Each structure stands twice: as structure tokens, then as C-alpha cells.
Structure 1
Amino acid sequence: MPFDWEEYQAKKEVKIPEVVKQWEAKWKKFKQSMRWPVLFIILVILWLASGIYIVSPSQVGIVKRFGKMVRTTPPGPHYHLPYPIETVIKPQVTKVRRLEIGFRTISAGPPAQYRTIPEESLMLTGDENIVSVEFIVQYKVKDPVHYLFNVKDIPKTVKDAAEASMRETVGKTPIDEVLTIGKFRIQQETKALLQSILDNYQAGISIVAVQLQDVHPPQAVVKAFKDVASAKEDKSKFINEAQAYRNDILPQAKGKAAQIINEAMAYKETRIKRAEGEMQRFLSRLKAYKQAPKIIRSQVYLDTMEKILAQTREIIVPEKVEKIILPLNQPSQTLPSMEGRKTSLTTRGK
């Protein structure tokens, strides 16, 4: 029987499609049977991959397992068991948060606009005056675990504690000091008191700064306070002027006093030296008198007469001189001399 090539080719073409169809049917059946397992595996992989997380440099990772904190993680990539087994919270620990007390910012501007909150800003001072105090509080996270789990509402807690601390500090300070030189001390004392309160709460908060923004009397009495301030300025002005006059006159008075004292001391020394000199002269004359009494007596007499006659207005003319009547009642008189020349005589005296 001869080989029929065409019939062989026809049979071959029929068998190949049948094999393909069989394999296609088997593959389809396999895909249908593996669809859900593969999908489940993919979902499990994605679920496990959801535990990868990254903590930024400004954050700290807090991992909770079924709601309970189990560990903290530093900045960098980390892994935790997927939700709902474990979850992670990443609070900002370097961010400085800001609270406004006594006022609220309506618009940052420019120009900035603010709204006063009287129930927060009005406070009683140590001398029972009312003052309006507006300030801000800056804080950041110190302990992220305490920050997240110990206090429910951190901003409200910090605000209430800051307001209470400021009221206590202002309540111990006179209004003049609150309005002028006591602001820095009030800020520091309020900051320390607020920090101690939050530490007692274990809030995990660090107070960065307490800054007074505006301190002024209530609007109803601003004019009266301005008048008082003007009077105090005038008082300070007068005190400064008086102090300047005092500083000017005191050195002059002290200088004059020192001059008078020095002159008195010089006069004292002069009188003492003169008295000592007279005493020494008297003692020396006494010694000479004991040795030659007549000579010393004559010398003393002549010295005394010289002093007396030096002050008299009379002129004594010896007998040998021509008899001329001298005008003793006139201080100066022109008289003729024996040689016919005019001679001027002047009396001696005071």
C-alpha cells in the first residue's frame, strides 16, 4: 500500500490543535485553582511590607503593640509588626511650639492684627491694681513617651498652667514694677514656675521661653496712668536736677571749707611761731637784762618811746634851732630856712 503523504499531513494537523487545546484547558484549570492563593500571598507580602517606616531627624519613633508602648526608635529606617499588631507614632521633638495667652493673632500682616482676650489678660497686681498682660509661651517635647501618654490635651494644659503661673507672679509684684523694670524678672519667675508645674504633671514638656508682648493698664484707666507716669517723670527730672545742683555745689563748698581750714591752720602755725619767737626774744632779753640791767632798761625805754612818738602829731624842736612857731595843727607847712630857702615840714602821725 503506497504511503499517502497528504493524509498523514491532515492527521498531523488535527492532532496538534487537540494537544494545545488540552494544555490550554489544563492551564486554565490551574489558574483558576491558584488565583486565590497567589492573591493571598501577594496581600501577605504587602501587609508585611507595611511595617517598614522611616523616622526623620526631627522625630522619635514610638512603637505600640496592641495599644501599649513597647519601645522607642531613633531617626532612620525601622520595622515594626504590621497593623493591627503594632503601630508607630512619630512626634516632632525638635519643633518649638507657640501659645498665645491674653491675645490672638488675627492676621500676620503686614501689618499684623491682634485681638485681645480680656478674660485671659486682665490680672491683679501685688498692690491690688488691674493690669492687662499679653504674653506667649514657647515649648518643645522633652520626653516623647510622657508627652504622648501622660497628659490628654497638651496645648490646653500648657495654656492653663502658664496663665496660672503668670497670675501668681504678677500678684506678688507692684504695678509700677510690672509696667517698667520688673518685666524680665516676671518672665524668668513665670518660666521657672510653669516648668515645675509641668514636671509635676510629667507632661514631657520643656519650656523654652516666656515672653511678655504687651503690658498696659486697662483701657478705662489708661489716661489716668499716663498722668501718673508723667508726674513720675517730672519727679525724676526734678530729682536729677537737684542731684546735679548738689553735685555742683558740694565740691565748691568742700573746696571753700578746705581753704578756710588751711588758712586757719596757717594762721595757727604763724601765731604759734610768732609767740615762740617773742618768747625766745623775751628770754634772751631777760638773760641780757640780768647781766646788764641799766643798758637793757635804757634800750627798752628808747624802743618804747620810738614806738610812741612814731604815732604822735607833735614836733619837738631842740633849743639850738631858731625859735620858730610851728603850725602843729596842720600836717604840712612851708617854712623859710635860715638861708632864705623854703623848707617843707611834714608832721608824722596817722
Structure 2
Amino acid sequence: MPWSKPGGEEPPKPEGNDPSDGKRENGRGPWGSSGQGGSNNGKPWGGPGGGSPFGGSPFGGGPGKPPDLEAWVRKAQEKLSNLTSGDFSPRVLLLIGAAVCALWLASGFYTIDPNQIGLNLVFGRYVGKTLPGLNYNWPEPVGEVLKLDVTDRNSIDIGAIGRADEPGAIEVPEESLMLTGDENIADLKFRVIWQIDPAHPEFFAFNIKNQAETIKAVAESVMRDIVGHTQIQPLLTVARKVIEPEAQKAIQKVLDSYGAGVEILQVQLLSVDPPPTVIAAFRDVTAAQQDQSRFVNEAQGEANAIVPNARGEAARILNAAEAYRAQTVAEARGQTARYLKVFDEYQKAPAVTRERLYLETMERVLGGGDKIILDKDSATTSLLPLAPFATESKPAPGGNP
């Protein structure tokens, strides 16, 4: 017997719990018959009907009788007592253990979503990461799987509880009020957009605690440092587009030094204002600066319209003066050349040249006046007016002479 003691003695059987007591005599089976000549005809339910509810009922009722529920409950209790009493063979125990072990090992299968990466742990030690799909790791308590959403974008608003750019957000002055480089105070709210680094998700899981709070603290510290080196006026106007990428690079550098496994995607300045108590004065200053810029632009536009005209007029005057100079010089040179030619002719024939010069001069002097011709040799003075002839000889306007 598998349960025999070393001395060959059998362990005592529990009283009243073995349904086989008194039923295995003379080769009888547990159902009161060996299957040959027994009263049950080898049927387990004690009747010729076998499985019929009323002809050999399994609950102890005879043919044509209703089932006996009390007998069924009593038999179930006896079987349960046998199970709890440990009356198993080694083979049964081995099969039960193998089934339990197989179920335990099968529970180690798990799935990773497309936006996730799994981190496998064995006895709390990181052993590797798994990609999306069906994967396996030792089941608990030996193994554990951490699933991280590496492609999800997360945001942290600093300076307000909730989304600072939406109604209902609660302002946090302890976070938003910052000292500028010229010792003014600025009320600055900004947002940090980040995600887990897909290349090193294990850094995010194991290197730092309270990852969101760490990112928030680093971002606030970096922004205070940048604002502390910036003047208030540029901060309110033109420096915003410079601060955002600068803050992103600085935050990423600090987190990389921590090995945080975080990738900073963007830094957005939501609002940059002076403190509420002096915001009206700052707005007046900003308006005055805008007016100054407007006036400068208007003056520059007017100057751009006047200066080209003045330059054009100056160029015209210079060109006219240059033309007059060239004309005068050319005329002077022409007169000089004519005089030199006359002088050359005079040297060749002085009398003829004097006579010609006299006649040409008189022609030029007397050519435009009225003339009267007198004959000095005549005894009688005769008058010959030439004015009518001169008038008739003048060419008509626009016609031929």
C-alpha cells in the first residue's frame, strides 16, 4: 500500500467516512454489486433504469419514485470528506501539482499596446524591455511587468492649478511671480509638454521618483534663471520667442543630467504680465512705446517720400548747370576760334579786312532801323524814303519772303 508505514501497518481509517466499508465484500464494487448477478446489474445508481430520473435514480429513488435529495447530499459530503482526508495516490498529487504549475506559468503571458513599452522585472530587478504585442515574463511573485505609455504627450502648467489658458484655473502666485534682471516683478505662466523617452523608458521608471513633480521643479527653476537675466520690457514684448526654445534646451539638459528618461517637446509661455498692482502703469508704458514706434515709422515714411524728390531736384539743377557751363565754354571757344581766323585774315590783307569788318558792323548796326538816302552831289535835294519798300520787303509771318 502506498500509505503503509515502515512496519507494514496500515494507517487507521477514519470512521464513518469511507463509503467503501462493507461494500467491497465478495468482490462487490462500491455500488453494492460486482456487475455480475448483483442487484444493481452493474449500474451505479442502484436500479435497472440506470440514468432514468425515476427508473434507478442517482439520488436513491426507486422506479417510479421521486429523487432522494438527502441521499445525494450525503454522498457528496462523503466524497468531499475523502478529498480533504488526503487519501490521494502520488500520481494524483503529481498531476494536480503539474496542472497548478502550468496554470501559474501560463499567467506570465501579457500584451503591450502600440503606445506602450513593457519593462520586465525578475525578483524586482530590471532584465529588459518589450515591444508592443504578446510577450512573456515570469508570473508573480517572481516576475513583474511595468507598462509605460511612451508616445502619450503630457503637459504641466506652472503658475496655475489646471490649464492656465482656460477659465476656472486657480492662480498660484508662488510659482508665477518671478524677479527680472532689472529688479522688476513679472507674473509669468507657462506650460511644459513632455513625453517618456522611447529609447530609455527604464530611466524614467527607476532613476527618479515623482517624475511629474521633478519635471515641474526643474522647469520652474530654469525659467526663474532665464527671467532673472532678462529685462522687463523685452520680456513683455519681443523676448518671448527667444525664451521658449532657450528654456526647452535648458530643461532638457538638466533632466538628462539626472538620467530622467524624459523628452521635452515644447515650452509655451501662456502669459507674461506685470503684477496686478502695477499692470495699469506698465500698460501705459507699453502704449507709449508703441506710439513712439508709430511716430518713428511715420517720420521715416515721410522722409522716404521727401528725400528722393529733393535728390531728384538737386540732380536736375546740377545737370542744368553742367549744360550751361558746357554751352558757355563752347560759345567762348567758338568766339575765340572766329577771332583767331579774322586775325589771320587781317594779317594777310589789313585794308580789305578793315573794310569788311566796317561793312559787317554797319550792317549789323543799321540793319534794323529806317533809312533815308541823300545824294550829296545833286544841287537839288531829293528825298527817297525807303520805309515803304522795307515794309513790303519784310517776309510775311510763316511764309516765304
Normalising by structure 1, we get a TM-score of: 0.78
> 3-state SS of the aligned residue for 1:158?
helix
- Confirm or deny: 8 A CA contact 2:178 2:224 kept in the other structure: yes
In 2, distance between residues paired with 1:117 and 1:311? 106
Q: Quick check: which one's strand share is greater?
A: 1
Give the direction of change, closer, same or farther, for the CA distance of 1:106–1:135 in structure 2 (3 Å limit).
Answer: closer
In percent, how many aligned pairs have the same letter?
A: 37
Give the direction of change, closer, same or farther, for the CA distance of 1:19–1:284 in structure 2 (3 Å limit).
Answer: closer
Match of 1:195 in 2: 252
Give the direction of change, closer, same or farther, for the CA distance of 1:303–1:126 in structure 2 (3 Å limit).
Answer: farther
Amino acid at match of 2:189: E
- Superposition deviation, residue 31 in structure 1: 4.5
- Of structures 1 and 2, the one scoring higher in RCO (CA 8 A, sep 6+) is 1
- Confirm or deny: 8 A CA contact 2:164 2:189 kept in the other structure: no
In 1, distance between residues paired with 2:108 and 2:316? 97
**1:75 paired to 2:114:** no
Which of 227, 246, 254 is equivalent to 2:303?
A: 246
Which of 168, 192, 216 is equivalent to 1:137?
A: 192
Which of 147, 159, 169 is equivalent to 1:102?
A: 159
Match of 2:341 in 1: 284
Match of 1:325 in 2: none
In 2, distance between residues paired with 1:19 and 1:232? 106
In 2, distance between residues paired with 1:106 and 1:137? 11
In 1, distance between residues paired with 2:40 and 2:347? 186
- Confirm or deny: 8 A CA contact 2:372 2:383 kept in the other structure: no
Which of 293, 306, 309 is equivalent to 1:236?
A: 293
* 1:1-350 superposed matches below 5 A: 12-13=37-38, 28=79, 31=83, 33-34=87-88, 37=93, 42-105=99-162, 112-142=167-197, 143-301=200-358
Structure 1 window deviating more from structure 2 (226-235 vs 202-211): it is 226-235
- Confirm or deny: 8 A CA contact 2:373 2:383 kept in the other structure: no
What are the Cα deviations for residues 241-275 of structure 1, in whole angstroms up to 9, with x where unaligned?
11111011111101100100110110011011101
- Superposition deviation, residue 294 in structure 1: 2.0
In 2, distance between residues paired with 1:15 and 1:138? 81
- Superposition deviation, residue 170 in structure 1: 2.0
What are the Cα deviations for residues 110-165 of structure 1, in whole angstroms up to 9, with x where unaligned?
x7322221111111223332211111001111121100111112111111111111
- Confirm or deny: 8 A CA contact 1:105 1:112 kept in the other structure: no
Match of 1:7 in 2: none
Q: How many matched pairs? A: 311
- Confirm or deny: 8 A CA contact 2:195 2:265 kept in the other structure: yes
Amino acid at match of 1:263: A
Structure 2 unaligned regions, length at least 5: 1-35, 47-74, 377-381, 389-401
Match of 1:326 in 2: none
> 3-state SS of the aligned residue for 1:90?
strand
- Confirm or deny: 8 A CA contact 2:157 2:164 kept in the other structure: no
Amino acid at match of 2:330: K
Structure 1 window deviating more from structure 2 (133-142 vs 225-234): it is 225-234
What are the Cα deviations for residues 69-91 of structure 1, in whole angstroms up to 9, with x where unaligned?
11111111112112121111111
Q: CA RMSD, aligned part only?
A: 3.6
Q: Quick check: which one's helix share is greater?
A: 1
- Confirm or deny: 8 A CA contact 1:147 1:204 kept in the other structure: yes
> 3-state SS of the aligned residue for 1:64?
strand
